[in-house]
Structure 1
Amino acid sequence: MVKNKPLNYLLNLDLVLTGATFLVLVTITFAGVIMRYFVNRPLVWLEEVQLMCFVWIVFFGAGAAFRTGSHVAIDMVVDRFPQQLRKITEILIYIAVIIVLCYFMVQGWSLVQQMGQTNRLTNIFKIPYTLIYAAFPIGCVLMIINYSIATYTQVFKPMIFGKEGDA
């Protein structure tokens, strides 16, 4: 992890935002169940807010998952490679992941622009869909930043400090 404390807080902003959004999602879903089945007055706006929460949790949480190495990976074969070949493989994987994330970011930005040009709003709260789907390209940027930091720390930093066996 980064030793600069303000930068550390900035890098963990996605985790805080994801946690807060998850808390909102659980709370309103619980309230929706109570209102529907016990009070017999369903919350008609619930689905709109749940959609926004799900989108935000997925894309902001993915950045944090890249930073902590929590994404699913099958690296049994790569772990058997010699150290130098493992580093080369990790760099090639990094390049492939960054290319895919850049493609997703561009497509996500196109989606946000399309929603902005058509002025689409949610039915009840009139929340612009640009606000909801902006999490897509922003999340891709966060994933690129976090994956770059994680890859640098894992692949290059041990070589700089002379700890070749730590990677």
Structure 2
Amino acid sequence: MKNFFRNIEVILGSITISITVLSVIINVILRYGFGIQFAWIEEVSVGCFIWTVFLGATAAYKDKALIGVEVLTQALPYRGRRFLELIIYTLLFVLNATLFYLSYNYAVGSGKITAALEVSYIYINASIVFSFGMMTFYSLKFLIEDIISLIGGQEKAKKN
């Protein structure tokens, strides 16, 4: 169970991409093989794909796998690098918290419904709220880890 919550973005993203792929395959087979078309299959696949994109971004953010430029940080001494990372993590926390707040207001304020299933867009827009909520959590975690590393990293600084 602990592993489930540690990798929740990857697990949910795997489920949503599987639903997306399967629903598209089924829709293509039904359309070209039998001449049957269901509009709701397209809505499900698009909704799941949106969830997949935001869950994937969150998983990449959690693993610090997003594109970064390290030329400046590698040129700095250890303490300077740690201080720059502290500034960056602080800015990322503020940015993600702001985007979480704005996405929550956007999702709650959305009164639109899908055409075929007549389901509220809040279920699709919740992916944005979940993603930025998790990114805010991870930003705070990175920030705290960096502060602890900066305070307790004096023995590492002497080695470098």
Partner of 2:49: 54
Distance 1:13 1:143 in 2: 13
Matched residue, 1:97: 92
CA–CA separation in structure 1 for the residues paired with 2:138 and 2:59: 7
Q: Between the two proteins, what is the percent identity of the paired residues?
A: 20
Q: What's the secondary structure of 2:34's corresponding residue?
A: coil
Could you state the TM-score of these two structures normalised by the residue count of structure 1? 0.81
Structure 2 gaps of 5+ residues are none
1:27 partnered with 2:17:
no
**1:93: Cα distance to partner?**
0.9
Q: Spell out, residue by residue over 1:45-72, the C-alpha distance to the aligned partner (whole angstroms, 9 max, x if none).
A: 2321122112211222222111111111
Aligned Cα root-mean-square deviation (Å): 2.5
In the alignment, which of 113, 116, 119 is matched to residue 127 of structure 1? 119
Measure how far apart 1:158 and its partner are: 8.0
1:154 deviation in Å? 6.0
Structure 2 Cα separation of the partners of residues 22 and 35 of structure 1:
20
**Residues 109-137 of structure 1: CA distance to partner in whole angstroms, max 9, x if unpaired?**
1111211xx3x221111221111111111
CA distance in 2, matches of 1:131, 1:19: 18
Instruction: After TM superposition, list the pairs within 5 Å mapping 1:1-167 onto structure 2.
Output: 6=2, 8-115=3-110, 118=111, 120-153=112-145, 156-157=148-149, 160=152, 164=156
What is the identity, as a one-letter code, of the residue corresponding to 1:101? Answer: N
Separation (CA, whole Å) in 2 of partners of 1:155 and 1:36: 57
- Decide whether aligned partners of structure 1 residues 96 and 158 sit closer, same or farther in structure 2, where only a CA change above 3 A counts: closer
With normalisation by structure 2, the TM-score equals 0.84
Q: Which structure has more helix as a fraction of its residues?
A: 2
Q: How many residues align?
A: 158
My pick for the range that moved more, 38-47 or 153-162, is 153-162
Unpaired runs of 5+ in structure 1? none
Whole-angstrom CA distance in 1 between matches of 2:151 and 2:24: 49
